[in-house]
Amino acid sequence: MDPILEMLIALESLDAQLDDFESEDYLKSISIGQNTDENAVTKQIGKLRELRQEIVNSLPVAVYKRYEKLRGKYKRGVAPVINGICSNCFMEFPSALVSRPVKNKSLETCPNCGIYVYWTK
């Protein structure tokens, strides 16, 4: 897989985890819950942020900027193509693109919504 694509997927998963941690519902649930160690959560968030920064530092600036822009618009910057369909905008990819034997070897975007895509089956 393209190394930048790989980093984007990792970044996306970190951001999703951070969103969960920082969501109001989650913060409410830990203030009500008795068994959750708030410190552990703070630590975990710090760790995720550190990891995130490492990835951001390794990404080409233009790619990261576009990722952030996409996240502002769609709440995500990368989306899988599933059965030839963009999972962000549900556009069907041209069959010539779908049937290529080599995928995920370069950074691609959805021709319709512009999100970075990676191919599952």
- Cβ proximity to Zn ion, 11 vs 70, nearer residue: 70
5-23 in b/e burial notation, b at 16+ Cβ within 10 A?
Answer: bebbbebbebbeebeebee
Q: What is the C-alpha to C-alpha distance for residues 61 and 7, in angstroms, rounded to an integer?
A: 13
Query: Site residues for Zn ion, window 79-98 (CB under 5 A)?
Result: 86, 88-89, 91
Min CB(3)–Zn ion separation in Å = 23
Q: Is 113 in the site for Zn ion (CB under 5 A)?
A: yes
Cα angle value 115/110/113 (rounded, 5°): 60
The yes or no reply on residue 53 touching Zn ion (CB under 5 A) is no
Residues in touch with Zn ion (CB under 5 A): 86, 88-89, 91, 110, 112-113
